[in-house]
Amino acid sequence: MKKQKVALIAAISENRVLGKDNKLVWHLPADWENFKQVTAGKPFIMGRTSYESEDMLFSDSFNIVLTRQTNYSLPGKNKTAGSLAAAMEMLAAESEVFILGGGIVFEQSLALANYLYLTIVHQEFEGDSFFPEVDWSEWELVKSLRHEVDERHAHAFSLNEYRRM
Ligand SMILES: NC(=O)c1ccc[n+]([C@@H]2O[C@H](COP(=O)([O-])OP(=O)(O)OC[C@H]3O[C@@H](n4cnc5c(N)ncnc54)[C@H](OP(=O)(O)O)[C@@H]3O)[C@@H](O)[C@H]2O)c1
């Protein structure tokens, strides 16, 4: 059987900031367009805090929201899971799974990932949620597309794809 693709996908600053006050600290339409293209049709796993963020992007397949609350209700075919292992078990038959964060969930799931889709925003920001430190010796950069500042984007950024070696 082909190995399941487990990808973390995030936009992070040069100092690994993910967000502040449960919001993103940048607005990058081309990053969202790329996100939609990369994740189309794939199921997502996300933390409950990120799920409640006004910036959250949802799967057009279905979403699993991690929470330890037992009475947390979700609309539609979205589901909750009480642990990362339970969420992965629910998605065991899927060929690809995308983990969307935030910081608490990335910290736990980096070890499971075999792909990273990281948008690196080429600036330092203040934030209160961070992507974990990555041991880059374990990863190879397979794709990188740099986007410069333009009328829609106040910051330069790179759309990077890494595969675990
Ligand atoms: N830049 C990006 O690409 C990106 C992407 C996503 C999010 N973000 C940012 O990240 C920030 C939010 O991240 P965060 O670290 O504060 O929170 P988070 O990781 O989104 O969610 C944390 C919550 O998820 C639940 N959870 C986590 N691990 C669990 C486990 N193993 N089992 C069961 N439940 C678990 C818990 O919910 P309960 O408290 O309900 O038990 C926990 O409080 C925001 O600023 C957001 O904007 C940025």
**Domain map (residue ranges) of the chain:** 22-94+110-148
* Protein residue whose Cα sits closest to atom 8 of ligand 1: 102
For the chain of 165 residues, list the mean pLDDT of each consecutive stretch of 10. 93 98 97 97 97 92 96 92 98 97 98 98 98 98 98 98 98
- The two tokens of residue 35 are 């996100």
How confident is the model at residue 10, as a pLDDT? 98
* Protein residue whose Cα sits closest to atom 47 of ligand 1: 23
Does the domain made of 22-94+110-148 have the CATH classification 3.40.430.10?
A: yes
- Please name which of 51, 24, 8 lies closest in space to residue 128, comparing C-alpha atoms: 24
How confident is the model at residue 29, as a pLDDT? 97
The Cβ of residue 103 has, within 10 Å, a number of other Cβ atoms equal to: 21
pTM score of the predicted model:
0.97
In whole angstroms, give the CA distance from residue 17 to residue 121. Answer: 9
Expressed in angstroms and rounded, the spacing between residue 67 Cα and the centre of ligand 1 is: 9
Residue 34 Cβ contacting ligand 1 at under 6 Å: no
Residue 19 Cβ contacting ligand 1 at under 6 Å: yes
How confident is the model at residue 2, as a pLDDT? 83
Show Cβ contacts of residue 119 under 8 Å, excluding neighbours closer than 6 positions. Answer: 10, 11, 12, 28, 31, 34, 157, 158, 159, 160
